[in-house]
Amino acid sequence: MTTVPHTRDEAEREARATLSEVAERAGVSISTVSKVLNGRSGVSLDTRNRVTSILQDRQYNRRNTASPIAPLLELVCTALDSAWMVEILVGVERIARESGLSLVVTGMKDRGKPSGSWIEGVLQRKPAGVILVISDISEGNQHQLRSHGIPFVMVDPEGDPAPDVPSIGSANWMGGFMATRHLIELGHRDIAFLAGPQFFLAATARMSGYRAALAGAGIPERPELVGPFGEFSEPAGRQVALRMLERDDRPTAIFAASDMQALGAYAAARDLGISIPDELSVVGYDDLQVTRFAGPPLTTVHQPMTEMAEEATRLVLRLREEPALKSTRLELATSLVVRGSTAAPAPAADSAPGPQRASVSVHD
């Protein structure tokens, strides 16, 4: 039989006893355990993780420590200056405003290796919910948020999150397939692919879609036209595209795993005097606002980033009201947006091998 404390004093004595047990097992003071529970600074990352692990093992739950939830949402993210993140921010802010909530943004430097320091500020502010645009969330951080009654949702997670981690993503494999099929239907056979980060699930899914489209059309993959894994950035795209376009048997089309890499391919084509789309077709991925004003406007896969952010915000607010909600994984559809950067390949008789330097430029 479980004995339930009947008074506040008895509950507090039981909580103190539990804290003492946790502190003893972790080899720290009770005040250190309290700091971890309340998200305060002054505790090393190793100690914080050790205490959190013991709290989870002991199934410790805070008692009689309810505090008011602040009328705000928190967005934890990286690369605040990127066009991609701006569209996420627009979506989160729109739903927060409609719900009468303010928005706090916590930025970090590295999406791939996020520090654990963000959790301290979140626990101190006690927001109504947290939207995470980071690579992953540790079990310790999950426990801290849940023990404080703060729901969270991940947007476009880097890997495959655990089943109990709410997340919003998009159909990356289908996006990669549609982009490559579009080029095949135009008549291209030598189609290069500029890959994204190796351990980013979205990037590998786009590559799988590219390969499936080639295989479905009976087109052998040319390994030398599959770019090495790299960043979703213009410099990375330019570097790899230059190497491919300088080949005597250069590709007639490039599918880039991100719009920024595609703009890098534009720069490489400009450097080599290769005309887009007359001599080279380019397809990007994301449909960032800037691509509509590129010269020529970029054909790309529309990833509904603003809608993903909106759905993540709606979901975190719903979890606020329904903590036991089961269906917390959602994948939004992608679509192909055809603009001016793709066309049928030039007839073989009209094109000389290798780059045509200083003769043609990217259309403005």
Per-position DSSP letters for 320-359, written without gaps between them = HH-TT----EEEE--EEE--SS--PPPPGGG--SS--TTT
**What percent of the chain is predicted at pLDDT more than 90?**
51
Q: Cα angle at 312 between 199 and 309, to 5 degrees?
A: 75
Provide the token pair at 123.
């626990």
Model pLDDT for residues 113-143, shown as the tens digit of each residue: 555 678 888 888 899 999 998 877 888 888 8
Model pLDDT for residues 322-347, shown as the tens digit of each residue: 887 876 788 899 999 999 999 999 88
In the chain, CATH 3.40.50.2300 sits at 72-170+306-332, 172-304+337-350
**What percent of the chain is predicted at pLDDT more than 70?**
83
Please, what is the average pLDDT of the chain? 83
Q: How far apart are CA 5 and CA 203, in angstroms?
A: 53
Confidence (pTM): 0.74
Q: Under CATH, which number does the domain 72-170+306-332 receive?
A: 3.40.50.2300
Q: Which of the listed CATH numbers 1.10.10, 1.10.260, 3.30.70, 1.20.950 matches domain 8-57?
A: 1.10.260
Specify the pairing of strand 329-332 against strand 167-170.
parallel
* DSSP secondary structure code for residue 107 in this structure: E
For residue 248, what pLDDT is reported? 92
Local structure of 215: helix, strand or coil: helix
- The more confidently predicted of residues 122 and 68 is 122
Provide the token pair at 201.
């699930």
Local structure of 176: helix, strand or coil: helix
Q: Which of the listed CATH numbers 3.50.50.60, 3.40.50.2300, 3.40.1170.10, 3.20.20.120 matches domain 172-304+337-350?
A: 3.40.50.2300
Model pLDDT for residues 6-15, shown as the tens digit of each residue: 444 444 444 4
Helix (H) or strand (E) holding 49: helix 45-57
